[in-house]
Amino acid sequence: MSVLARVFEEHGISTLVVALVREHAEKVKPSRALFVPFPYGYPLGKPNDAEFQHRVLAATFDLLSRSAGPVLEDFPEETGTTDLPQASSITGSADPIKGDPANEVTALRAFYERWVEAQGGRSAVGLSGIPQRRFRGMVRFMQSYARGEEVDMKERPEDVPLAQFIRYCVDDLKAFFFEARMAQRPDTEPPELHTWFWGETAAGQMVAGIAEHMKSSGDAALERIANGIAR
């Protein structure tokens, strides 16, 4: 996002960046960036805490008052959770619903739809362009990819490489599972959510397998994508 901010600025559009990785912002030097000490996937900090999130947004928009840049400032508060379990740190132990992520999708769908309704129709699902009602097919596609088979989906745009589209699918699947779990167990904290996904679901094990397949390719670009999906 820091790179995109610089492109927009070159065309006269003022930008603000919420940076989860301070080192990246230091290197790219966007015009105005606020570093936030939150886990990946939580740029505004605490989920469902509007007051806290508004403080993050206020601190971000306050950067527009700076007379010169580039500006990189630190948000002074933390959420209490600074690290989240990743796939590499958890050994999958459960074999729920006979170990089939497609069956997990079916079992969690009602909870996911309950979450979306409670959020007024908002959801983090949608990056891949595949409707959640077709996620069973998306799972089969991802399983075939993890096995090294030549596969594709009609929803993949022609200008999006297959590996990048896989990442979009992974992001959608994780969002689906996380939102369903939060509807199922509203008091679940982020670390518990990640431990559940990576350690107790077949979907988490499948995603970890996709990451391993990418890492074993010897392709540096695929390795970077693998590091992104397995966290």
pLDDT at 88: 46
Residues 2, 17 contacting (CB under 8 angstroms) = yes
Q: How many CA atoms lie within 13 A of 177 on its CB side?
A: 27
Q: Which residues of 144-183 are buried (b: 16+ CB within 10 A; e: fewer)?
A: ebbeeeeeebebbeeeeeebebbbbbbbbbbbbbbbbbbb
pLDDT at 229: 83
What is the rounded CA–CA span in Å between residue 32 and residue 62? 10
pLDDT at 124: 87
What is the rounded CA–CA span in Å between residue 228 and residue 165? 13
What is the rounded CA–CA span in Å between residue 82 and residue 86? 13
pLDDT at 226: 86
Pull the structure tokens for residue 209: 């397998």
Pull the structure tokens for residue 120: 């007024």
pLDDT at 38: 77
Ordered per-residue pLDDT tens for the chain, 231 residues: 555 766 677 777 888 988 877 777 887 788 889 988 876 667 888 777 889 999 999 999 999 998 777 899 999 887 655 455 554 444 545 554 457 999 999 999 999 999 999 989 988 899 899 999 999 999 999 999 999 999 999 999 999 999 999 999 999 999 999 999 999 999 888 888 889 999 999 999 999 999 999 999 888 888 888 887 877
User: Would you give the DSSP letter of residue 127?
Assistant: T
Give this prediction's pTM: 0.69
Q: How many CA atoms lie within 13 A of 122 on its CB side?
A: 4
pLDDT at 5: 64
Query: How many angstroms from the chain centroid is the CA of residue 76?
Result: 24
pLDDT at 96: 43
What is the rounded CA–CA span in Å between residue 96 and residue 45? 31
pLDDT at 66: 86
What is the rounded CA–CA span in Å between residue 194 and residue 90? 10
Strand-by-strand arrangement of the 17-19 sheet: 17-19, 32-35, 71-74
What is the enclosing helix (H) or strand (E) of 17? strand 17-19
Please tell me whether residue 74 adopts helix, strand or coil conformation.
strand
Task: Examine residue 47 and say whether the peptide bond preceding it is cis (omega within 30 degrees of 0).
Answer: no
Residues 190, 42 contacting (CB under 8 angstroms) = yes
